[in-house]
Amino acid sequence: MIVTNNQQVAENYEGAIYINGDMNELYKKVRDFVYLGHKLHTHPLSASIGMLHSPVKTVILSDEKHFDQNSMKIISESIQKYNVLIGKRQPIIACQSDYEFLDLELTNTALEELKKFRRGEYIETRNPKS
């Protein structure tokens, strides 16, 4: 399941759930889906501070429903952290098309990695516990 407020992602992925709203509205919708049992496949917060100023974001969740307490914790903490980090600052709308492109590319990459993971193409790299 793809939940986004990025028009480019919504246009490129059939079935994507488009949220016509700001980041808080997007996060609330993602939270609602998590509370219904969908698991987060991508983290709601961006990895860089610069991307936190983006007015768009895409979050990938499981299609199937299984209770996942970790996803509930992550989305709740992400909403709090986003509001603290952004504060009263507004997203940078002047660069919206650039942010939309970057978010689309990140979504494409995340979906490709998820496909590889599902096919079992990842090998355990951590040291096993003794």
- Average pLDDT over the chain reads 90
pTM for this one? 0.87
- Which structure tokens are listed for 130? 């003794």
Q: Tell me the pLDDT tens digit for each residue of 50-83.
A: 788 899 999 999 999 988 999 999 999 999 999 9
In angstroms, rounded to a whole number, what is the distance separating the alpha carbons of residues 51 and 1?
Answer: 22
For residue 89, the 8-state DSSP code is P
Question: 8-12, 43-47, 83-87 — which is least confidently predicted?
Answer: 83-87
Whether residue 93 is predicted with pLDDT greater than 70 in this model: the reply is: yes
For residue 126, the 8-state DSSP code is S
